[in-house]
Structure 1
């Protein structure tokens, strides 16, 4: 009978010790938030261009007979066929001009599969959003962030969240972006 009492006492002491150690950590009142850091893309270094002396430039060789027989056709602007203008494609990442001032960015998710992120980036760009991916290193290996932006007005990006949800079925969040 003494061993049952001893077992109960030892078990009670262990539970009380765990409660004294763990409960203060749970109720310390500090919310745990994961803070993401963004790094600015470094500017391209200035490089001096040296002029090449005229003597070292190779002389133009004669063209082969097959190329000399090709005729060129000159067309005036009125006779030329119309050229379809393509929409300006967005860059893979924000340009240096966009990174000069703080703003806001939408993160739609972090994915392991790079191909699926690239597919989503193409879909978002086709819909007119400045989407790109950013590779980050985590404890589990490299991950791909799907990002839209940056933008200077938080409310404009928040207004885009429902449209982005329709396109991608992803719940995005707006984050502060510091260059």
Structure 2
């Protein structure tokens, strides 16, 4: 015969298992059921069959943006009076090539090259030291890999005199005598 303890144990197990099964549903609240709205993908889209038989038009001819010939620029000679000049006075005529670079912009910026390094970590440390002191330093080329040569440069700056003044400070800071060179943005 079963003892009173066994009856209590079985009753407790039944109550605990019923609580484990049903209590989460009671405390979870009202369930929200979501139904996804979907449409079936058609096997073939309907399209206008007239597009298949319509003739294709030829593209329009458009003039080139840049002139193919040299451009003629007329410059009137300046006078001290603000009066308009009569057309009988001679005007200076200049021929300008459309592709010719402007003369004042070829050598307009300067850099100081402090050195070329094979050890990239040394070059990066030097650049971070210089930037910490307020100098516009960079590593060239920017995507240099281990084993390749990396240049440490300060600049560019349009003032050659300002960079020349920096060379003594840079030499005392780094111990490297830098070269003052022209900056070429197309081939750094």
Same fold (TM over 0.5): no
TM-score range normalised by the length of the shorter chain:
0.3 to 0.5
Normalised to the residue count of structure 1, the TM-score between the two structures is: 0.40
Name the structure, 1 or 2, with higher relative contact order (CA <8 Å, separation 6+). Answer: 1
- CA radius of gyration, larger in: 2
